[in-house]
Amino acid sequence: MSDPQYDLVVFGATSFVGSILTRYLAATFGTDGRQLRWAVAGRSPEKLAALRDALGEGGQTLPVVVADAGDEEALQRLCADSRVVVSTVGPYALYGEPLVRACVESGTDYCDLTGEIQWIRRMLRRYEQRARETGARIVHCCGFDSIPSDLGVYFLQQQARARFGEPATRVKMRVRAIRGGMSGGTVASLMNVIQEARRDRQLRRELADPYSLCPEGHGQGVPQPRIRFAGQDPDFGAWVAPFIMAPVNTRVVLRSNALAGAAGVAGLQYDEALMTGRGVRGGLTAAVTALATGGFAMAAALAPLRRLLQRFVLPGPGEGPSPEAQERGFYDLRFHGRTADGRELRVQVTGDRDPGYGSTGKMLGQAAACLALDMDRDSVPGGFWTPSTIFGDRLLHRLEAHAGLAFRIQE
């Protein structure tokens, strides 16, 4: 692959998350190309120009590339001009495949923020072998789903090996506190997953399989715990309820463990849940949360109720938390690991912005920069990777230094 014009191109830069990412990259790396040669891309020249104008005087030097998600030739030119393409165009199951295919065929690195497990599985089946051949590194799930979970487990296992000489075989993640909103793009992606699963029985079986993203012959067959109802967790001394992102994060963590091969943890069990507090109040909150989560999924699966939700309750396309709300957002995740002989370790991962948008924009930006600036073509071969297996300490250090995340051992 010849030296491309850009280190990084943001595809879908005028989307809700794309605009957050663009502002973050401009503030972090500038727009003059001295730290990072980057450009914004999308289908509307007018919206791209408006986005560039919104960046102020420096934005006028930022290159613009016009390309539509369905225009294969334009996507091929885009990939030929860039070392890394980062995509915020969703739902990915509807619009994402042509760009992944173009990146794979051209050997261009790619990352995104999808949490659409059914689509990731399709991309693995169709393009993983070809990516190995061309050298393209494809990294899905580089936002709140699933960087904090994936790197949180990575960090915990690092510390367990250093402290105990062995990894934890049982790991839990509990959301201790969280504040954030939802965008219309996230709603559209979630609704599409539910609709696909409702129509396809085989897909429902695949989505229920905790190892659905693991490579064939991974050898990991231990039953995985799953939090479906309200319950008490003795390791945290609190009530817990289902966490809406657990179906995505758990599968990414298990894929990371499988990709590690001999360095992985035999018999690893991992689950996630939302902590709701202690005592009667904590129990009631857990019960209400569990009922609300299940009720939402049922309502979204029924067309009449889904339309009502989309019309009167949920945000529409282009809508999402205000900049002020993103600033006020945060998250506090707690991890508990136990080794085979019963020794325990606790880790805390925190983020300083709304998890799905303010923080996701920073995580996605640093993941893309890590691909573009920190990893030569020989350091990691082509293929489909998870955040922890391709980036490891490189990204962890970037997130702590530049993205408002913190990874800590709890004594």
Segment 91-143, tens digit of pLDDT? 999 999 999 999 999 999 999 999 999 999 999 999 999 999 999 999 999 99
262 part of a folded domain: yes
**Tokens 């696909």 sit on residue:** 196
Q: How far is CA 129 from the centre of its chain?
A: 22
86 part of a folded domain: yes
Are 300 and 182 spatial neighbours (Cβ–Cβ below 8 Å)? no
341 part of a folded domain: yes
What's residue 317's pLDDT? 64
Residue environment code for 121-148, b if the CB has 16+ CB neighbours within 10 A, otherwise e: bbbbeebeeebeeebbbbbbbbbbbbbb
273 part of a folded domain: yes
Q: Are both 381 and 235 inside the same structural domain?
A: no
**For the chain, the helix, strand and coil percentages under 3-state DSSP, each to the nearest 5:** 50, 20, 30
Cα–Cα distance, 188 to 314 (Å, whole number): 10
408 part of a folded domain: no
* Number of structural domains the chain divides into: 2
What's residue 378's pLDDT? 87
**By CB neighbour count within 10 A (0-12 exposed, 13-18 middle, 19+ buried), where does 375 fall?**
middle
Q: Are both 190 and 98 inside the same structural domain?
A: no
Q: Are both 194 and 337 inside the same structural domain?
A: yes
Taking Cα atoms as reference points, which of 113, 54, 144, 87 lies closest to residue 329? 144
pLDDT band of residue 58 (cuts 50, 70, 90) is: confident
241 part of a folded domain: yes
411 part of a folded domain: no
Give the sign of the dihedral formed by CA 253, CA 100, CA 316, CA 404: positive
Give the side-chain half-sphere CA count within 13 A for 260: 23
Whole domain around residue 372: which residue ranges? 6-143+358-402
Q: Are both 115 and 178 inside the same structural domain?
A: no
What's residue 318's pLDDT? 66
Q: What is the pLDDT of residues 321-353, one digit of tens each?
A: 888 888 999 999 999 999 999 999 999 999 999
Q: Are both 346 and 385 inside the same structural domain?
A: no
Beta strands in 70-169 (DSSP E): 82-87, 109-112, 137-139
Cα–Cα distance, 162 to 371 (Å, whole number): 27
Q: What is the pLDDT of residues 158-190, one digit of tens each?
A: 999 999 999 999 999 999 999 987 666 677 777
CATH number of the domain residue 75 falls in: 3.40.50.720
410 part of a folded domain: no
Cα–Cα distance, 385 to 259 (Å, whole number): 8
Q: Are both 203 and 281 inside the same structural domain?
A: yes
Q: Are both 252 and 324 inside the same structural domain?
A: yes
Q: Are both 179 and 295 inside the same structural domain?
A: yes
Please provide residue 380's backbone torsions phi and psi, each rounded to the nearest 5 degrees.
-140, 130
Cα–Cα distance, 387 to 140 (Å, whole number): 8
Q: Are both 105 and 162 inside the same structural domain?
A: no
Assign residue 336 a region (left: φ > 0; alpha: ψ between -120 and 50; beta: otherwise). Answer: beta
Query: Is a pLDDT exceeding 60 seen at residue 389?
Result: yes
Taking Cα atoms as reference points, which of 174, 159, 20, 147 lies closest to residue 405? 147
Q: Are both 241 and 307 inside the same structural domain?
A: yes
The type of residue at 223 is P
Q: Are both 206 and 81 inside the same structural domain?
A: no
Q: Are both 89 and 154 inside the same structural domain?
A: no
